[in-house]
């Protein structure tokens, strides 16, 4: 068994009684005050990661920009922290534009993505002066040309498929040949010619993204020559994808190693005066959070099932990608040994398993279970399955806790049923 505490947000500690403290807040107190399940985020960890990313990238490539892939955690409080720390925002669609604007982001620092942007989303982007629209297909160009008013030009990047197959789950692979995202180089070259002729668009550069939860720097570096082959531009957006450490066996590259690899490839293949953008999502927020649940029942038989009051309603990473998580009991987080159990959720699916095989010592009804590394893609994919009320988000910092997203109410579950 590894060091469970090391998976919780940096600065997490164990008190004299063996209880977990996140940013100085006792996990069991947070569970009592905000009820469970609750997503607990260390604000300082998010800020530090954002700040370090900007500084470390700029130290290696001064004309650089970090934009947070909002999709990983698109609540206004997180987007606001990123904005305050000098990080721009990648927004995938209208909803993330709306939350980013509410968070106070400068529209000029937003980068709009989407393989199927609608008329309404393009109109929203143009209306608010979104800095860069990443063109994924020729219909994006049709829509932009029909929307951008005369006398104005929308800055665009063109998304290119680099033909790089990274080692990760197939569902989060995007840079391989045949991907639904972006254009193969020959098709990209054709569309670029059209954009360059357009009176409504300004061709600023290229975009590439190889996938998510990538634990090796080689695929990122390999994507650079693929975009370089399409010509010299002012901007190269090299996407996101750096993996996070979910389990004891995960060893993702450090931010420094990741930037070293990107910048080495950029020096070899891209114009020295170009601006580089990166769009990390998962690696910026995953390890900054944990989810607290309460045990509802312990059932012993062929296997021991420990069932909690959440599950696939607040964490779809397991069902969608088979992501492995770890867990511990919040009031005895440093307990070793224990029974190997299957940690399951409360939803009506056998696939609603949070962890298939985790050691918990003497788990009992009402104990608080803490699952680390839930900061990425959990909040954003939370859902109302089985009438689940989406869970709250609490920021913790210096021993103080602050609710930033409240729990959904029963009334809200009924709000959209109009007949």
Question: Of the two residues 135 and 292, which places its CB atom closer to ligand PLP in the complex?
Answer: 135
Mutual angle of helices 185-197 and 138-147, in 10-degree steps: 20
Among 9, 93, 219, 241, binds ligand PLP (CB under 6 A): 241
Question: Of the two residues 37 and 240, which places its CB atom closer to ligand PLP in the complex?
Answer: 240
Whether residue 238 contacts residue 224, with contact meaning beta carbons closer than 8 Å, is answered with: yes
Q: In sequence order, what E strands does 121-225 have? A: 132-135, 154-159, 201-207
Minimum CB–partner distance for residue 310 and ligand PLP (Å):
22
Minimum CB–partner distance for residue 6 and ligand PLP (Å):
21
Minimum CB–partner distance for residue 239 and ligand PLP (Å):
5
Given 25, 75, 290, 348, the catalytic residue? 348
Among 43, 85, 90, 309, binds ligand PLP (CB under 6 A): 90
Burial of 250 (0-12, 13-18, 19+ CB in 10 A): middle
Q: Per rule CB under 6 A, is residue 282 in the interface with ligand PLP?
A: yes
Among 239, 252, 253, 311, binds ligand PLP (CB under 6 A): 239
Q: Which of residues 40-69 bind ligand PLP (CB under 6 A)?
A: 69
Q: Which of residues 160-219 bind ligand PLP (CB under 6 A)?
A: 174, 209, 212
Minimum CB–partner distance for residue 418 and ligand PLP (Å):
34
Pairing of strands 328-329, 339-344: unpaired
Measured distance CA(211)–CA(128) in Å, rounded: 29
Question: Of the two residues 16 and 170, which places its CB atom closer to ligand PLP in the complex?
Answer: 170
List of residues 6+ apart from 404 with CB closer than 8 A: 41, 75, 76, 77, 393, 394, 395
Annotated active-site residue 348? The verdict is yes
Of 104, 48, 85, 89, give the one whose Cα is nearest residue 288.
48
Structure tokens of 42? 């260390």
Question: Of the two residues 221 and 307, which places its CB atom closer to ligand PLP in the complex?
Answer: 221
Question: Of the two residues 113 and 117, which places its CB atom closer to ligand PLP in the complex?
Answer: 113
Kindly indicate which of the ranges 9-17, 120-128, 183-191, 279-287 contains the residues binding ligand PLP, using the contact rule CB under 6 A.
Answer: 279-287
List of residues 6+ apart from 71 with CB closer than 8 A: 90, 92, 96, 281, 377, 380
Question: Of the two residues 138 and 380, which places its CB atom closer to ligand PLP in the complex?
Answer: 380
Mutual angle of helices 76-84 and 43-60, in 10-degree steps: 40
Helix (H, G, I), strand (E, B) or coil at 183: strand
Measured distance CA(283)–CA(252) in Å, rounded: 9
Measured distance CA(399)–CA(308) in Å, rounded: 26
Among 26, 113, 200, 294, binds ligand PLP (CB under 6 A): 113
Q: Say how many CA atoms lie within 13 Å of 216 toward its Cβ.
A: 9
Among 19, 74, 93, 280, binds ligand PLP (CB under 6 A): 280
Minimum CB–partner distance for residue 113 and ligand PLP (Å):
5
Question: Of the two residues 93 and 239, which places its CB atom closer to ligand PLP in the complex?
Answer: 239
Helix (H, G, I), strand (E, B) or coil at 64: strand
Minimum CB–partner distance for residue 241 and ligand PLP (Å):
4
Q: Per rule CB under 6 A, is residue 347 in the interface with ligand PLP?
A: no
Structure tokens of 30? 């947070």
Its sign, for the CA torsion 334, 30, 309, 384, is negative
Count, in order, helices (H) and strands (E) of the chain.
12, 20
Minimum CB–partner distance for residue 11 and ligand PLP (Å):
23
Q: Write the binding mask 120 to 159 for ligand PLP: x where contact by CB under 6 A, - elsewhere.
A: ----------------------------------------
Minimum CB–partner distance for residue 68 and ligand PLP (Å):
9
Question: Of the two residues 241 and 287, which places its CB atom closer to ligand PLP in the complex?
Answer: 241
Q: For residue 180, report the phi and psi dihedrals to the nearest 5 degrees.
A: -80, -10
When CB distances to ligand PLP are compared, the closest residue is 281
Kindly indicate which of the ranges 119-127, 150-158, 188-196, 235-243 contains the residues binding ligand PLP, using the contact rule CB under 6 A.
Answer: 235-243
Helix (H, G, I), strand (E, B) or coil at 113: strand
Known catalytic residues are: 348
Residues that bind ligand PLP (CB under 6 A): 69, 71-72, 90, 113, 174, 209, 212, 239-242, 279-283
């Amino acid at each position: 068994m590894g060091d469970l505490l090391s998976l919780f947000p940096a600065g997490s500690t164990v008190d004299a009684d063996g209880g977990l403290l996140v940013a100085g807040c006792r996990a069991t107190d947070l569970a009592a005050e905000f009820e469970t399940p609750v997503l607990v985020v260390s604000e300082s960890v998010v800020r530090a990661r954002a700040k370090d990313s900007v500084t470390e990238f700029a130290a290696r490539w001064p004309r650089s920009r970090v934009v947070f892939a909002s999709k990983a955690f698109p609540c206004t409080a997180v987007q606001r922290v990123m904005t305050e720390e000098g990080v721009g925002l990648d927004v995938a669609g209208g909803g993330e534009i709306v939350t980013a604007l509410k968070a106070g982001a400068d529209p000029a620092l937003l980068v709009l993505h989407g393989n199927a942007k609608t008329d309404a989303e393009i109109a929203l982007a143009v209306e608010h002066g979104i800095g860069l629209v990443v063109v994924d297909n020729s219909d994006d160009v049709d829509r932009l040309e029909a929307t951008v008013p005369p006398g104005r030009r929308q800055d665009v990047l063109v998304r290119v498929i680099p033909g790089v197959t990274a080692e990760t789950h197939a569902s989060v692979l995007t840079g391989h040949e045949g991907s639904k995202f972006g254009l193969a180089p020959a098709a990209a070259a054709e569309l670029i010619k059209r954009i360059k002729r357009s009176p409504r668009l300004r061709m600023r550069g290229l975009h590439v993204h190889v996938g998510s939860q990538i634990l090796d720097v080689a695929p990122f570096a390999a994507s650079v020559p693929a975009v370089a082959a399409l010509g010299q531009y002012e901007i190269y957006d090299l996407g996101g994808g750096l993996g996070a450490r979910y389990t004891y066996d995960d060893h993702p590259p450090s931010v420094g190693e990741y930037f070293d690899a990107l910048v080495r490839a950029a020096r070899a293949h891209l114009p020295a005066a170009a601006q580089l953008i990166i769009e990390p999502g998962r690696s910026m927020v995953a390890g900054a959070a944990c989810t607290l649940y309460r045990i509802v029942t312990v059932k012993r038989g062929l296997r021991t099932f420990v069932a909690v009051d959440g599950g696939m309603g607040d964490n779809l990473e397991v069902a969608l990608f088979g992501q492995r998580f770890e867990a511990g009991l919040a009031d005895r987080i440093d307990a070793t040994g224990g029974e190997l159990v299957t940690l399951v959720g409360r939803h009506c699916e056998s696939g609603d398993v949070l962890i298939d095989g985790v050691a918990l010592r003497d788990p009992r009804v009402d104990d608080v279970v803490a699952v680390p590394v839930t900061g990425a893609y959990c909040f954003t994919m939370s859902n109302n399955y089985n009438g689940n009320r989406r869970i709250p988000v609490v920021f913790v910092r210096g021993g103080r806790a602050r609710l930033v997203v409240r729990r959904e109410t029963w009334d809200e579950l009924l709000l959209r049923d109009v007949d």
